[in-house]
Chains A and B, each alone.
Chain A
């Protein structure tokens, strides 16, 4: 199981939880598991999120491995200038 931290705006879509436990060994599996567990998160994730794994910002790479004890945060989409 991996603990995923949600930004406060998403908590309302995940029964008010700040941290959500889901099954998954890669970023992609974790995102899919989040949507399966809390369909309300689907539009936010579809719109594009970045995932931070132990401080590394993963913008759109679904295959990055995630250790069970890794620190995982969902972050709003990044921009570029």
Chain B
């Protein structure tokens, strides 16, 4: 395995472009090194991105949104003064990954590029309508986060392409997001079901919403029907029931060592309701 420490994205993508065998990027490493240690994936070229300027920065963008560097760790997001105020759901999602120790290393982009349908950091990004900047031989372009996953362990990125930043839109007024996941213990498990909700309100009526489910399909799913079930409502019981039904309908989970099809489907509805209530309360300024 060759270990590279490029000082620019250009060098990094150049290394990746000319590499022949298996290539991996190293940011936090909390997935890459686990796969290395257990002989699941031993890269021929490992490109450490942490020496590239700006990768550790969380910056406010002109339009009031946020730009997150590819090597920003979950702990740094949680400790950031304002990011969590704007987007508590996104910070919660990242904060739930692994232990305190993992939080000191794991990154949003690493979580996204690992391609797990159960990734905790990704649903809230999609719910927020976030995008990532993809740089490659053909130059740079922005892609919606939901466009990146291509199936368990796979992304649409091609040889020589890498993500160089996460772009989160401005929160705007009367908005709130939330992320919840179900795990059998209180910490340390992979999500059996994950659900992010992002919505805006006018008074007590929901004007826009995005609902995203994790761990219930080969990729993380943006569920339009679930959003439609609550847009225009005051999140009353009927709306919550419709939300749960839409969420359950969108599930195409598997039976595995973490959960059954029936369980994941049922709990997807439960989490959708609970996450929606938190996002709604936050949007109306009632809860932090």
Chains A and B touch each other in the complex, with CB atoms below 8 Å apart: no
Binding site for A on B (CB under 8 A): none
Binding site for B on A (CB under 8 A): none
